[in-house]
């Protein structure tokens, strides 16, 4: 290793040469009101940074520049100051304000001292990776080192910590240069020691994490939502272990009957993933089952012929059991056909009614009853018996009474010859007093 490479690791020795004659300097000892409490303790006039800098003009300037930046937004930098302060205290570089620890200067000549953990590790690291420099390091920071006799424990420890960190960056694989070997040497935002990297990290186990991120991702040393499903709430019971996020599902076994399939791309429970998940045989792109628009025999109509059910399946409904197939709409009809009351002579959805149809006259015929349902108001209110589909009196209105309906009391009523033609009501004679006949039918009400 050349001396240029080692210069960074031993910048602390330059610091020591500037400290040989005096105490660690503070500015005027007054508080810096523009800094938050943590930054005050770390960067203030009596803080850790200036105390560790001692008489090193460059180090003092660096502390002051950092404080200048942090003053612009005090609250934003509080966490950074706390983390830096905690680590400095853990390494013996600083003590909390108001504490006497680490501020005693000098020792009697020839008296060995108990050196700080940072210096013990720096000496061991130097011996392991830069043995040609170990003598100088020992002379400065060893038990009888010159640093302990001329300046504070705090400043000496800071020099060791700086040197150790520099050698660790150059030799991350060297266990002797680890910045930590156990959690006891870590604190604040990085409470765990990564034994492989030899550095303090956010976490190395779950106990370092809490709140909405209770698990530790040991690969990245970051706190995450989960590593296993046991760490997830009932509302999101599965752990997506790659993303370390709690989700609805990883498999369909974690979904309920209403949404029985798991979309493993979005990790959501859905109605279907493939066609076989649906009774209709078709799963839409939004993971819902297609609902058929048509079946061969629904509640209102009997369908016929071949046509798409609306879900991509061709229905072959065959021929009509009664009536003929309406080719445009594929349903069976008997509209206008003569019929016999009580007999199954009309297609499904139609009924046998005594009616007047212009081209056929009076008689029992199959009617659909789609318009002018019984009980609707005939508009305009026509007198009996003029509210027919084939007359002009009520046409063009919002509600016309069709042929099988006539006006009785201002309402659409069924025509009738007998009470059997009036389900639930009675067949009444025409209002003009004529007896009920095929040419003068009665009205149901």
SS3 label, residue 43? helix
How many separate domains does the chain show?
A: 2
Q: Quote the distance between the C-alpha of residue 334 and its chain's center.
A: 57
Cα 247 to its chain centre, rounded Å, is: 8
pTM summary value: 0.42
| C-alpha–C-alpha distance, residues 137 and 83, integer Å | 28
* pLDDT by position in tens, the chain (length 445): 433 334 334 344 333 333 332 223 323 334 566 777 888 887 788 777 777 666 666 567 667 766 776 777 777 767 767 777 776 676 565 665 544 444 444 444 445 567 777 788 889 999 999 999 888 889 888 888 888 888 788 888 888 888 888 888 888 888 888 888 788 888 899 999 887 777 889 999 999 999 999 999 988 999 999 999 999 999 999 999 999 999 999 999 999 888 999 999 999 999 999 999 998 889 999 999 998 888 887 878 888 988 888 888 888 899 999 999 987 788 899 988 899 888 888 998 888 888 766 566 778 888 775 334 445 555 544 444 434 333 333 433 333 454 445 555 556 667 788 888 887 788 887 666 678 888 778 877 7
Q: Mention every residue, 6+ apart, whose C-beta is less than 8 A from residue 134.
A: 123, 126, 127
User: Token digits for 356?
Assistant: 């007047």
Which residues are bridge partners to 6 per DSSP? none
Q: Which of 150, 178, 206 is a domain's end point? A: 178
Structural domain that includes position 8: 1-178
Q: Where among 178, 211, 241 does a domain terminate?
A: 178
Place of tokens 């500037």: 18
Contact between 39 and 77 (Cβ < 8 Å): yes
Report how far Cα 364 is from the mean position of its chain's Cα atoms: 66
Q: Which of 158, 178, 198 is the last residue of a domain?
A: 178
Is 128 a domain residue? yes
Beta bridge partners of 268: 263
Q: Which DSSP state fits 356? A: E
């Amino acid at each position: 290793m050349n001396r240029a490479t080692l210069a960074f690791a031993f910048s602390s020795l330059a610091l020591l040469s500037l400290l040989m004659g005096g105490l660690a300097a503070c500015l005027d000892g007054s508080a810096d009101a523009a800094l938050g409490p943590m930054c005050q303790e770390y960067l203030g006039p009596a803080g850790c940074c200036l105390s560790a800098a001692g008489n090193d003009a460059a180090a003092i300037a660096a502390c002051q520049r950092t404080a200048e930046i942090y003053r612009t937004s005090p609250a934003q930098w509080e966490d950074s100051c706390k983390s830096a302060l905690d680590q400095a205290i853990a390494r013996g570089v600083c003590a909390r304000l108001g504490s006497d620890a680490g501020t005693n200067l000098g020792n009697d000549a020839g008296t060995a001292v108990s050196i700080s953990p940072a210096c013990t590790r720096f000496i061991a690291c130097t011996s392991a990776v830069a043995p040609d420099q170990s003598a100088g390091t020992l002379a400065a920071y060893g038990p009888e080192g010159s640093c302990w006799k001329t300046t504070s424990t705090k400043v000496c420890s800071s020099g060791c910590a700086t040197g150790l960190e520099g050698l660790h960056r150059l030799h991350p694989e060297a266990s002797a240069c680890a910045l930590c070997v156990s959690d006891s040497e870590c604190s604040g935002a990085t409470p765990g020691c990564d034994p492989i990297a030899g550095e303090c990290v956010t976490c190395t186990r779950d106990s370092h994490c809490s709140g909405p991120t209770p698990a530790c991702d040991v690969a990245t040393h970051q706190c995450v939502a989960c590593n296993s499903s046991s760490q997830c709430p009932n509302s999101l019971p599965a752990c997506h272990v790659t993303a370390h996020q709690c989700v609805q599902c990883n498999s369909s076994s974690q979904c309920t009957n209403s949404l029985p399939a798991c979309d493993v791309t979005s990790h959501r429970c859905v109605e279907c993933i493939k066609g076989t998940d649906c009774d209709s045989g078709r799963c839409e792109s939004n993971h819902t089952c297609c609902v058929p628009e048509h079946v061969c025999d629904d509640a209102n109509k009997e369908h016929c012929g071949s046509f798409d059910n609306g879900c991509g399946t061709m229905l072959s409904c065959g021929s009509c059991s009664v009536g003929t197939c309406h080719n445009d709409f594929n349903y069976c009809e008997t509209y206008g056909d003569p019929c016999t009351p009580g007999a199954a002579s009309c297609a499904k959805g139609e009924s046998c009614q005594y009616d007047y149809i212009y081209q056929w006259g009076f008689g029992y015929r199959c009617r659909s009853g789609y318009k002018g349902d019984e009980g609707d108001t005939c508009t305009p209110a026509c007198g009996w018996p003029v509210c027919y589909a084939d007359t002009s009196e009520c046409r063009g209105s919002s509600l016309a009474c069709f042929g099988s309906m006539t006006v009785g009391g201002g309402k659409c009523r069924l025509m009738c010859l007998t009470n059997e033609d009036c389900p639930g009501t009675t067949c009444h004679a025409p209002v003009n007093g004529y007896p009920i006949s095929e040419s003068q039918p009665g009205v149901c009400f």
